[in-house]
């Protein structure tokens, strides 16, 4: 890494190197010579240890903003060694001109920003306790770790970088076994509200739709923040799983593999599709009432736009019927047309699971707290 080489040379010019007094002596006895060797003495942590950081230690991601936006460790802050444009410029020089020109341009960029790196790190981590990583735990993190250590920071470096973290995340979706209990029920059964009440009653809950910023249907993006990228969704899901006691049951809503534009990781998906499922049995009319109540606050134009998106799947005649009902102010009738379509798709989706046990729960009225209380009793009775 060009900045690392530059910083290394700078320190070599500043300090006089002395040999160690003994093989057992890790640090050189001359205090002013210690910073030069600090990179070799920095504490390295593994991806597993990353989840055991002290609360006051700030995780810094030194990759470019574009890399960070693609996916990052939840809670990590971005301290980019190069901006997106700077990295592209150096990379272009390397490929089209020569490595030497790229090296020199990298020195120009990084050298001019040396004080900024330190000031920005102080802003992000006022306590000066940090863990740091780049893509592979190599030269980018090594260079800034050395600089910030020299500036008085307590520094730990993630061995293998973000790549090692991602390997750990994806591997553990399959390897770690969890006691999932799936909450099922057709569209409009109030599952999201019930999950919230389960959590309020002390149950462990993974809310996949909340993590995805999407309710899972053609109307799922209404009222939601933009969806995370798939990689970030996986990272956020793993962070939630890290909080769980995997000896206790974990409630999760029955979902298809895709939630909007994100996909549930295969290992996680396979596990919960083989878990016991509690199926809420709610009348068609009660579900219409719940949906109309829940979506009444959204502009009619946005509802119509969402409906038009599924014309091909729902059928032109059905969409036309629903749209005409909307235009006539017959919201319940329009909802009924859409709900008939979603009932068919939900039956197909549920049939794809290999659930270990199916437990029905008949619901007369959608009272989320009351249903959550019933679910806990039912789960205890079935030993799940």
DSSP string, 263-296: E--HHHHHHHTTS-EEEEEE-HHHHHHHHHHHHT
pLDDT above 60 for 17:
no
Q: 132, 134, 198, 275: which one is catalytic?
A: 134
Percent of the chain residues past pLDDT 70, beyond the cut = 88
Average pLDDT, rounded, for the chain:
86
Q: How confident is the model at residue 296 (pLDDT cuts 50, 70, 90)?
A: confident
Query: Catalytic site residue 14?
Result: no
DSSP 22-73: STT--S-SSGGGGGGGHHHHSEEE-TTGGGG--TTPEEEE-S-HHHHHH---
Percent of the chain residues past pLDDT 90, beyond the cut = 62
The average pLDDT across 369-379 equals: 97
Question: Which domains are delineated in the chain?
Answer: 2-167 (3.40.250.10), 176-382 (3.40.50)
Which region among 29-43, 58-72, 77-91, 186-200 has the lowest average model confidence (pLDDT)? 29-43
Q: What is the pLDDT of residues 238-252, one digit of tens each?
A: 999 999 999 999 999
The average pLDDT across 286-299 equals: 88
pLDDT above 50 for 19:
no
The average pLDDT across 76-100 equals: 93
Higher pLDDT, 75 or 10: 75
DSSP 128-172: -EEEEE-SSSSHHHHHHHHHHHHTT-EEEEETTHHHHHHHHHHHH
């Amino acid at each position: 890494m060009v900045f690392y080489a530059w910083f290394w040379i700078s320190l070599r010019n500043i300090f006089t190197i002395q040999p160690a007094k003994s093989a057992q002596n890790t640090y050189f006895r001359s205090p002013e010579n210690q910073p030069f060797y600090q990179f070799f003495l920095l504490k390295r942590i593994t991806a597993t240890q990353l989840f055991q950081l002290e609360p006051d230690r700030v995780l810094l991601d030194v990759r470019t903003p574009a890399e960070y936006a693609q996916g990052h460790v939840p809670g990590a802050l971005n301290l980019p060694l190069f901006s997106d444009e700077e990295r592209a410029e150096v990379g272009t020089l390397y490929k089209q001109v020569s490595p030497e020109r790229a090296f020199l341009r990298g020195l120009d960029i990084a050298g001019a920003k040396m004080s900024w790196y330190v000031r920005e790190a102080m802003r992000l981590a006022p306590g000066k306790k940090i863990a740091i990583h780049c893509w592979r735990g190599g030269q980018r993190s090594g260079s800034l770790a050395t600089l910030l250590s020299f500036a008085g920071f307590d520094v730990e470096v993630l061995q293998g970088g973000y790549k090692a973290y991602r390997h750990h995340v994806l591997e553990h979706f399959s390897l770690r076994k969890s006691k999932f209990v799936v909450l099922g029920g057709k569209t409009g059964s109030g599952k999201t509200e019930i999950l919230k009440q389960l959590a309020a009653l002390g149950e462990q809950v993974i809310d996949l739709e909340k993590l995805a910023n999407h309710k899972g249907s053609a109307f799922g993006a209404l009222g939601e923040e933009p969806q995370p990228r798939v990689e970030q969704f996986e990272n956020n899901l793993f962070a939630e799983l890290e909080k769980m006691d995997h000896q206790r049951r974990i409630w999760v809503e029955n979902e298809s593999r895709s939630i909007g534009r994100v996909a549930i990781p295969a290992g996680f998906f396979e596990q919960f599709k083989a878990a016991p499922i509690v199926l809420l049995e709610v009348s068609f009319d009660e579900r219409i009432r719940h949906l109309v109540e829940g979506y009444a606050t959204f502009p009619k134009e946005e509802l119509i736009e969402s409906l038009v998106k599924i014309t091909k799947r729902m059928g032109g005649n059905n969409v036309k019927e629903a749209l005409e009902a909307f235009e006539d102010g017959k919201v319940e009738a329009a909802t009924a047309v859409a709900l008939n379509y979603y009932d068919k798709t939900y039956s197909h989706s549920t049939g794809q699971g290999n659930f270990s046990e199916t437990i029905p729960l008949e619901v007369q009225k959608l009272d989320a707290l009351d249903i959550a209380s019933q679910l806990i009793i039912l789960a205890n009775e079935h030993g799940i």
